[in-house]
Amino acid sequence: MLRIALPNKGRLSQDARELFTDAGLEIRAAGPRALTASLGGEFQALFVRAQDIPEFVADGAADAGVTGFDLIQESGRTLHELADLQFGRCRLAVAAKDDSGVRTLDDITSGMRVATVFPRITRQFFAARDTAIEVVPVSGAAEIAPHIGIADIIVDLVSTGSTLHVNGLREVATVLESTSRLIANPAARADAARIRALDELVAALGSVLAARGKRYVMANVPRARLDEVRQVVPGLNGPTVIDIMNGGEHVAVHSVVSASTIYRTIADLKALGAVGILVTRIERLMP
């Protein structure tokens, strides 16, 4: 049985559950407050706090886990990163009051107090700049620290920057970029059965992630313009071309294309005389 630690609440939990379900690893829990659940086959989920997952995995309580890169770095534990799961995107940033004199990192001098939930990362970041700051550890709501005089600046997670703006703070610099990662205990990579299970897990999740950015396009196009069509829909290894029963003037072309530019792909196909254009989502894709 491969034990996988998943976030027990919040947006990371929702996104992780959705990804695992889409990959065919449906969470079967006894109830909404259950601490464990079956994922089918040889996989079992453990629901714990996102910030505790690096410790659970490093200590062997779980073979693998899903948590943010920021939390992995803050833990300082030795872990194998198996995949970037591409959700929970944010950045750890240095921020200062709008009316302060701190505009760039060069304005931050030794002795300044920095409030943060990430003391380890913060110390390392400023040590690399040879700036001896004083870390003020907080458990949350770091934004208030400069306003009540317990810190000069903060290092905190930022998604859009709106929270900083509302609280009269200005982003100064990025410390690190973070997304959710699939991690594993190094010892799990020494066991043949666990290696196989981890590889299957990575492939299942990866196929869903690969499919999310793609669409499957089908269209009837003039045979005489096939070379031009290939330029519009090159596909993974070239488009699939199928004869259709209309006297040979048209052929059916099927191809995988980027979802982000699908509007342009459709317009280009129409300009080449394509008709009967159909676009569908892809559930999974193994490149």
Spatial contact of 278 and 218, defined as CB atoms under 8 Å apart: yes
3-class DSSP state for residue 178? Answer: strand
Dist. CA 28–CA 167, nearest whole Å: 41
Rg over alpha carbons for the chain, rounded to the nearest Å, is 25
Query: What pLDDT is stored for residue 176 in this prediction?
Result: 97
* DSSP-assigned letters across all residues of 82-114: EEE---S-EEEEEEEETTSS--SGGG--TT-EE
CA 133, distance to chain mean position in Å, is 31
Locate 284 and state its tokens: 């999974």
Average pLDDT value over all residues in the chain: 95
Of 56-60, 134-138, 247-251, 282-286, where does mean pLDDT reach its minimum? 247-251
E-strand stretches of 1-145: 2-7, 28-29, 36-38, 43-48, 64-68, 80-84, 90-97, 113-116, 134-137
Burial letters 11-24, b for 16+ CB under 10 A, else e: ebbebbbebbebbe
**What is the set of domains in the chain, with CATH numbers?**
2-87+179-211 (3.40.190.10), 90-177 (3.40.190.10), 214-281 (3.30.70.120)
pLDDT of 188 over the 90 cut: no
Locate 193 and state its tokens: 């059965």
pLDDT digits (tens, 9 = 90+) for 224-256: 999 999 999 999 999 999 998 877 889 999 999
Locate 95 and state its tokens: 């921020």
pLDDT digits (tens, 9 = 90+) for 131-176: 999 999 999 889 999 999 999 999 999 998 899 999 999 999 999 9
Dist. CA 231–CA 167, nearest whole Å: 50
The pTM (predicted TM-score) of the whole model is: 0.90
Query: What pLDDT is stored for residue 217 in this prediction?
Result: 98
* Tokens 């944010």 sit on residue: 90
Query: What pLDDT is stored for residue 63 in this prediction?
Result: 96
Locate 214 and state its tokens: 């793609």
Element (H, E) at 241: strand 240-243
Spatial contact of 131 and 110, defined as CB atoms under 8 Å apart: yes
Query: What pLDDT is stored for residue 248 in this prediction?
Result: 80
Q: Is 166 exposed, middle or buried (0-12, 13-18, 19+ CB in 10 A)?
A: exposed
pLDDT digits (tens, 9 = 90+) for 14-49: 999 999 999 999 998 877 788 999 998 899 999 999
pLDDT digits (tens, 9 = 90+) for 253-279: 999 999 999 999 999 999 999 999 999
